Amino acid sequence: MIKTQNLFYFYQEQESDNKTQVLKDISLDIPKGEFVALLGHNGSGKSTLARTFNAILIPEGGKVYVDGLDTSDENLLYEIRKKAGMVFQNPDNQLVATIVEEDIAFGPENLGVESKEIRKRVDDALNAVGMRAYISHAPHMLSGGQKQRVAIAGILAMKPECIILDESTAMLDPSGRKEVMDTIKKLNHELNMTVILITHYMEEAAQADRVIVLDEGKVVMDGKPDEVFCQVDRLKELRLGVPEVTELSYILKQKGVDLGDGILTTDDFMDRFKAVIGK
């Protein structure tokens, strides 16, 4: 779905001719239907990388392909942005109408979709995110999690094959984060939609199929969640955390209680812990 080849990107410094390199020789393949968590401390380049995935930013070196389409070809931007939709951190910045139904219809209308098809897409998108009951509500009256689900529905109505979420749960409370994560997993499992999630919450990243870690514009770790999060010391060096139960099992191991590696959930922890206590 997404392919980058020797990707470089620079930001122009304000009031200067100097440029700062943000992405450094990144080559990645993200297959269709994969759920990828993209991690890195602030300034690591993860948001910049995500913005190259739907041609908001164009590489200054190397290539980015979205379902085989070259993002540097201006004639393909329309098709690329239909294939890869982006949801940002603050849902208020993506809500444009006074009624939920109209907000979700906004994208398809701008794509020139006919009215009958728009009606179907709005209904399908609302059903997909569990917000059908709020079709006539005012978006500003919704909770943070509900707003973000409406923002996701607005992207879904444009029928993307890939959805990119740039810290879309950062401004939500735990309940709102769970709503959004449940929606993301449903889209991935039931619609086989490619999901790329940028997050600071390690418990969210642990639910992905794959975790990619960036540091200073380079990919420094790439693997399944259990393969990445078992490297606790390495992640701490990169100024990142691990899921709480992974941290707890790491501390217990240092104290002589070895529960084994690959613990990512509370259920994993309890099963291992009870087995050790039983012995």
Determine, yes or no, domain membership for 263: no
- Is residue 86's pLDDT more than 80? yes
Measured CA to CA, the distance from residue 26 to residue 222 in angstroms comes to: 12
Split into its structural domains, the chain has a count of 1
Q: State the pLDDT confidence band at 95, using cuts at 50, 70 and 90.
A: confident
Higher-confidence residue: 26 or 81?
26
Q: What is the DSSP secondary-structure string of 105-141?
A: HHHHHHTT--HHHHHHHHHHHHHHTT-GGGTTS-GGG
Q: Average of pLDDT values for 89-118? A: 88
Domain annotation covers residue 120 = yes
CATH number at residue 151: 3.40.50.300
pLDDT at 7: 95
Give a yes or no: residue 260 inside a domain. no
Domain range for 83: 2-242
Read off the pTM.
0.87
Are 157 and 121 a contacting pair, CB within 8 Å? yes
- pLDDT for the residue 12: 78
Is 80 exceeded by the pLDDT of residue 16? no
Q: What is the pLDDT of residues 216-226, one digit of tens each?
A: 999 999 999 99
pLDDT tens digits, one per residue of 222-252: 999 999 999 999 999 999 999 999 999 999 9
**Nearest CA among 51, 12, 84, 32 for reference residue 191:** 32
Distance (Å, rounded) from C-alpha 174 to C-alpha 164? 21
How far is the C-alpha of 25 from the C-alpha of 23, rounded, in Å? 7
Residue 128: inside a domain, yes or no? yes
Alpha carbon distance 66, 161 (integer Å) = 10
